[in-house]
């Protein structure tokens, strides 16, 4: 009877966001991906195992001999515990005629893989390390002993760091010339990007936040704000069980096909966004973006704020085009999935199986000064992304955002905004949805020209006349007669800023829509700023 090894990671985000350095987060994420997609499958192969799942924080292997399964389990736990000692994980073995049987129930009614995993999650997770107090602690994390001779250059300062920080710093520096052979999902994205953008080959992949921005003569006083992007594909929970229910020989191939679609979509979005390498004072050029997480259907990257609106639009287009072009027998094709669900219903009429929901992604971006604590930004991004998913009913690609920072921002808890928004028109909407799409706002930013002082003036009126659209309109009309402020008249004539009127006359202004327009206009990547 076959044996199955099930290995899962817990608290992945907590591990990656343990420290706020870009090189730490990028290096830890890439190390984790390499463990899951390359190193652990290598261990399984050496122990005569067949990999079924390797990605998205899960690793499942089939063995014919218990001794091979046990050996692989021990080697896997040792490698993960020594590579990332702070990472929480669960690992167990199960026996069954197939994966489903081993997952649900063990031999002689012993706990199956599912029950073992849940039991481990409820108990002690991860490994703790201690060290003698008289040893010098790492200058970066302060958690492990510093190692003499190991450091990360920071101008004239070269702090002594622990082996873990040193390894993560090394892992974060991707050599674009070595992006060949067996690569992680993240490395495949960079490899394809450079393959299609040969003119960017001289550019380095940034490992520090400052390298996202052009060096200025007075950099300390210059505006350096980054956008932290996070996105996640909707409605995957009703599809993964169908893929796992296939013959075991097809499971890994299926997940590889699914992963490739998301790799292609991300690459195409990056290509079409038109990133321009930046020059730094060390004489090097860098890409103005850095991917932190790219595994399964999750994506997290940082970029110069001026690119984030175009990236949102391009990712939406790339995902929609990829899904529209799926072959009939592709495992992501909803018709293919529904056919498999129909077979399951015939075999088990009592089993409740929900209809397959459409694809799409929920996303968020947070615009912030470059040295803001990243873990807080990521937590905020997760909340915004979940809000985008919930409020749009997971119907299509949507995005939510928050702009934090300098005095030029009009974002505030005191103003009501029209967000989240769908990114593109044409897809299904909830029955009570009446908001504009991100593409509508982009068009408005391109069509209406306002100075910074006018943006601030309109924002002040929105504060002063909160909940009073008629009073707000009277104030704008009063100022629109001025030669200096005559472009206010164009705002008053814009139908998209008004409610629909039953008598075909001008409806009331929608203050939340006007506030959203002003907020997006404040971004240097809006069409108004080109």
What's the pLDDT score for residue 406?
Answer: 53
Cα separation, 502 vs 436, whole angstroms: 19
Q: Which of the four pLDDT bands, split at 50, 70 and 90, describes residue 216?
A: low
> Closest Cα to residue 436, out of 515, 489, 357?
515
Q: What is the pLDDT of residues 11-69, one digit of tens each?
A: 888 889 888 899 999 999 999 999 999 999 999 999 999 999 998 888 999 999 999 99
Q: What is the pLDDT of residues 290-332, one digit of tens each?
A: 999 998 789 999 999 999 999 999 999 999 999 999 999 999 9
Q: Which of 139-153, 178-192, 355-369 has the lowest mean pLDDT?
A: 139-153
Q: Which of the four pLDDT bands, split at 50, 70 and 90, describes residue 413?
A: low
Q: Which of the four pLDDT bands, split at 50, 70 and 90, describes residue 341?
A: confident
Residue 523 φ then ψ, to 5°: -75, 135
What's the pLDDT score for residue 405?
Answer: 65
What's the pLDDT score for residue 50?
Answer: 95
Q: What mean pLDDT is reported for the chain? A: 87
For residue 123, is pLDDT > 90?
A: no
Q: Which of the four pLDDT bands, split at 50, 70 and 90, describes residue 530?
A: very low
For residue 128, is pLDDT > 60?
A: no
What's the pLDDT score for residue 382?
Answer: 94
**379 burial via Cβ count (<10 Å: 0-12, 13-18, 19+):** middle
* Cα-to-chain-centroid distance, residue 479: 43
Q: Which of the four pLDDT bands, split at 50, 70 and 90, describes residue 124?
A: low
Pick 240 or 156 by higher pLDDT.
240
What's the pLDDT score for residue 154?
Answer: 53
Cα separation, 511 vs 504, whole angstroms: 20
Q: What is the pLDDT of residues 260-276, one digit of tens each?
A: 999 999 999 999 999 99
Cα separation, 307 vs 338, whole angstroms: 38
Average pLDDT over residues 338-361: 81
For residue 243, is pLDDT > 50?
A: yes
Q: Can you say whether the dihedral through the CA atoms of 463, 465, 469, 473 is positive or negative? A: negative
How much of the chain, in percent, has pLDDT values that exceed 90?
52
Q: Which of 122-126, 347-351, 356-360, 380-384 has the highest mean pLDDT?
A: 380-384
Q: Which of 1-15, 129-143, 275-289, 304-318 has the highest mean pLDDT?
A: 304-318
Percent helix, strand and coil across the chain, each rounded to 5? 45, 15, 40
For residue 501, is pLDDT > 80?
A: no
- Range 351-357 contact pairs with CB under 8 angstroms and sequence separation of 24 or more: 354/238, 356/235, 356/238, 356/239, 357/234, 357/235, 357/238, 357/394
For residue 155, is pLDDT > 70?
A: no
For residue 386, is pLDDT > 50?
A: yes
Which DSSP string do the residues of 92-116 spell out, in sequence order? EEEE-SSHHHHHHB-GGG-B-HHHH
Residue 185 φ then ψ, to 5°: -55, -45
Q: What angle do CA 371, 88, 365 make, to 5 degrees?
A: 35
Q: Which of the four pLDDT bands, split at 50, 70 and 90, describes residue 527?
A: low
Those residues with Cβ within 8 angstroms of residue 190's Cβ, 6 or more apart along the chain or in another chain: 174, 176, 179, 205, 291
Average pLDDT over residues 431-454: 90
Helix (H, G, I), strand (E, B) or coil at 156: coil
For residue 127, is pLDDT > 50?
A: no
What's the pLDDT score for residue 129?
Answer: 46
Cα separation, 310 vs 270, whole angstroms: 10
Residue 357 φ then ψ, to 5°: -80, 155
Pick 227 or 466 by higher pLDDT.
227
What's the pLDDT score for residue 510?
Answer: 93
Q: Which of the four pLDDT bands, split at 50, 70 and 90, describes residue 146?
A: confident
What's the pLDDT score for residue 153?
Answer: 61
For residue 493, is pLDDT > 70?
A: yes
DSSP 56: T
**176 burial via Cβ count (<10 Å: 0-12, 13-18, 19+):** middle
């Amino acid at each position: 009877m076959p044996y199955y090894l099930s290995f899962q990671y817990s608290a992945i985000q907590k591990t990656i966001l343990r420290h706020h350095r870009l090189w730490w987060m990028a290096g830890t994420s890439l190390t984790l991906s390499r463990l899951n997609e390359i190193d652990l499958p290598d261990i399984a192969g050496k122990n005569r195992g067949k990999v079924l799942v390797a990605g998205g924080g899960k690793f499942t292997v089939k063995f014919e001999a218990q001794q091979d399964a046990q050996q692989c389990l021990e080697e896997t736990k040792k490698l993960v515990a020594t590579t990332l000692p702070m990472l929480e994980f669960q690992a167990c073995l199960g026996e069954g005629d197939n994966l489903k049987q081993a997952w649900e129930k063990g031999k002689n009614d012993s706990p199956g893989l599912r029950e073992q995993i849940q039991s481990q999650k409820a108990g002690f997770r991860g490994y703790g390390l201690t060290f003698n107090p008289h040893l010098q602690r790492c200058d970066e994390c302060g958690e492990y002993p510093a190692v003499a001779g190991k450091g990360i250059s920071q101008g004239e300062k070269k702090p002594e760091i622990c082996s873990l920080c040193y390894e993560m710093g090394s892992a974060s520096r991707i050599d674009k010339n070595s992006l060949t052979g067996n690569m992680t999902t993240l490395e495949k994205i960079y490899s394809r990007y450079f393959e299609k953008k040969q003119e960017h080959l001289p550019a380095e992949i940034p490992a520090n936040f400052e390298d996202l921005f052009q060096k200025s003569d007075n950099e300390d006083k210059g505006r350096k704000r980054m956008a932290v992007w996070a996105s996640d594909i909707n409605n995957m929970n009703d599809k993964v069980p169908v893929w796992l229910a296939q013959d075991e020989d097809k499971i890994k191939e299926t997940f590889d096909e699914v992963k490739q679609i998301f790799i292609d979509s991300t690459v195409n979005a990056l290509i079409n966004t038109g990133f321009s390498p930046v020059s730094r004072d060390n004489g090097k050029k860098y890409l103005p973006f850095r991917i932190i997480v790219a595994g399964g259907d999750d994506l997290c990257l940082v970029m110069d704020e001026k690119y984030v609106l175009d990236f949102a639009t391009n990712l939406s287009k790339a995902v929609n085009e990829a899904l529209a072009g799926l072959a009939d027998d592709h495992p992501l094709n909803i018709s293919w999935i529904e056919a498999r669900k129909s077979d399951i219903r015939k075999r088990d009429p009592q089993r409740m199986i929900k209809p397959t929901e459409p694809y799409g992604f929920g996303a968020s971006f947070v615009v912030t000064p470059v040295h803001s604590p990243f873990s807080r930004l990521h937590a905020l991004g997760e909340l915004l992304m979940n809000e985008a998913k919930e409020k749009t009913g997971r119907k299509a690609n949507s995005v939510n955002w928050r702009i934090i920072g300098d005095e030029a921002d009009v974002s505030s808890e005191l103003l009501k905004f029209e967000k989240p928004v769908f990114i593109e028109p044409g897809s299904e909407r909830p029955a009570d949805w009446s908001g504009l799409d991100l593409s509508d706002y982009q068009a408005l930013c391109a069509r209406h020209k306002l100075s910074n002082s006018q943006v601030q003036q309109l924002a002040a009126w929105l504060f002063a006349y909160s909940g009073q659209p008629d009073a707000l309109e009277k104030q704008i009309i009063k100022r629109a007669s001025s030669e200096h402020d005559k472009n206010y008249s164009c705002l008053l004539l814009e139908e998209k800023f008004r409610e629909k009127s039953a008598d075909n006359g001008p409806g009331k202004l929608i203050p939340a829509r006007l506030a959203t327009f002003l907020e997006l206009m404040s971004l240097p990547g809006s069409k108004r700023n080109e």
